[in-house]
Amino acid sequence: MLVADSTRATPLETQGFTTKQIHYNLPTTRLIEEAVRRNEGWLSRFGAFIAHTGQHTGRSAKDKFVVRGPIFGHEIWWASPYQQELEESKFETLHKDVLEHYNNKEAFVLDCFAGADMRYRLNVRVVTENAWHNHFARNLFIPCPYADTPLFTPNFTVISAPSFKANPERHGSRSETQIAISLKRKLVIIVGTSYAGEIKKSIFTVLNHLLPAGNVMPMHCSANIGKQEDVALFFGMSGTGKTTLSADPERDLIGDDEHGWSDDGVFNFEGGCYAKVIKLNPEAEPQIYKTTRTFGTVLENVVFDLQTRELDLNSDKLTENTRAAYPLTNIENARIPSIGGHPKHIIFLAADAFGVLPPISKLTPEQAMYYFLNGYTAKIAGTEKGITEPQASFETAFGAPFLTREPHVYADLLREKIQQHGTQVWLVNTGWSGGAYGIGNRISIKHTRAMIRAALNGQLEHSQTIQHPIFNLAMPLEINGVPNSVLNPRDSWANSEEYDVQAQKLAGMFAQNFKQFEEFVSPEVIASAPKN
């Protein structure tokens, strides 16, 4: 048996593995060499590693299961459409079969951390049968510095086996794909999918369960920090612009996707970024574009020329959900360590497929709770299997697929922290204007950046606003660099009566979805709902 690159890791054999070859904590160059040697992908012209993931080009949200054990069962939000119950015996059978699957295979092991703040971080071990998956995890988590850690003991282990096919009858799965989480065993098993995003999102799910008990708010958001040490958070589901809008050359990047808010401030869960790159514009998104041409970046499902190895970032031949995974150090203005103070501003991002919501509006604390719990957006093509075009969607807390506890647990935590630190909340529509999807146009990144900068630099603090007649949102009348007609969505439509119909339709959807939360919130929050 070959043991490589670490003598200070807890042996994999103690976790039941009997593989023929184990690679512990290989550096980036070694992992890329192994991935190429094993024909797992290709190198692009500029050295980024390209991997194609087959039929799964996004998360398989309906294939995620949580084991219902005697300790954790009563704490799980079982009403969630993303929380499927798995019998403990089925999980044990899956675990046993996956360990046998690893016999006579190579195993790549990464010992790493989730959480830049040492007081709250989780020791994570990632075991993969593919070298490129381990490379992906190395980019997205925080690798363990063994010089400072005599012996790494994992708090949670993720086992990825994409070539293993789950059996619904034997393993309690829905299909051949399964993401199974046992909070009792402190173990995640991912089978039947090569989409690397499942690895990072499984640990995000675990943190969503563990951290609230310590008064830490886990958040599906990006974060950056200005020259005055002012922190801004950007909440939103995949495809709403979290990564793009937080990568601002005028502000330092804390992180692009997953953060915690403790009694001391904000900290990144990750050590890297996972950005969508479909139709990436080098002028509008220069920092992210540069990473696609950088050695060490992992490019998922990006189309390229096999002879010249030139990338075609505009092609959606494989999926709309093309991705780049790269370490934070690839962003020139990244804040390392990725920690900041309490946020001064929070921005809720919604890619409104109806073309109804204002491009930017200022929320009251009550409205903030209402829009946080509703989490309205559109599912963007390719972010989940089977989604081929945007669909109106409500995702609680802008992260429903990753929540394990009842939604009011997260909402109450956020409300308390907003009140304690005087944080201002904004709603920003990164979706459509001038009509619904297919008729109107996507709001330009240039205009969205101008609106957000105006909010963050204080320009909008005392600006004149008007109230939206249906959603009762405070809309600024003027913002430097943004046409006034863009700021009021009704004015952007050719037919204002058609706009009113769409607005009433969306308001009705908001009201219907929020009924599930009414027993947990104050009358003031309920009263902040749109009029329909």
Active site residue 59: yes
Residues 195, 301: Cα–Cα separation, whole Å: 9
Nearest C-alpha neighbor of 324 from the set 313, 333, 335, 339:
313
Given the residues 257, 377, 423, 468, the one annotated as active site = 257
Given the residues 23, 133, 200, 323, the one annotated as active site = 323
Active site residue 74: no
Active site residue 243: yes
Active site residue 379: no
Helix (H) or strand (E) holding 273: strand 272-276
| DSSP assignments along 28-92, one per residue | HHHHHHHHHHTTS-EE-TTS-EEE--TT--SB-GGGEEEE--TTTGGGS-TTSTT-EEE-HHHHH
Cα distances from 469 to residues 108, 298, 473, in angstroms, run: 57, 46, 8
> Torsion-angle region of residue 250: left (phi > 0), alpha (psi -120 to 50) or beta?
alpha
- The neighbour count for residue 58, using CB atoms within 10 Å, is 26
Active site residue 276: no
Torsion sign (Cα): 135, 136, 137, 142? positive
Q: Is there a contact between 525 and 366 (Cβ–Cβ < 8 Å)?
A: yes
Helix (H) or strand (E) holding 299: strand 298-300
Given the residues 56, 242, 345, 405, the one annotated as active site = 242
Residues 416, 411: Cα–Cα separation, whole Å: 9
Helix (H) or strand (E) holding 262: strand 258-262
Active site residue 515: no
> Torsion-angle region of residue 233: left (phi > 0), alpha (psi -120 to 50) or beta?
beta
Nearest C-alpha neighbor of 134 from the set 56, 33, 50, 28:
28
- Listed in sequence order, the DSSP H helices in 107-229 are 131-140, 168-171, 197-210
Given the residues 222, 238, 377, 393, the one annotated as active site = 238
Cα angle: 162, vertex 26, 51; to 5 degrees = 40
Active site residue 7: no
Active site residue 138: no
Given the residues 243, 322, 338, 377, the one annotated as active site = 243
Residues 339, 49: Cα–Cα separation, whole Å: 29
Given the residues 23, 59, 68, 345, the one annotated as active site = 59
Residues annotated as catalytic are 59, 201, 220, 238, 242-243, 257, 323
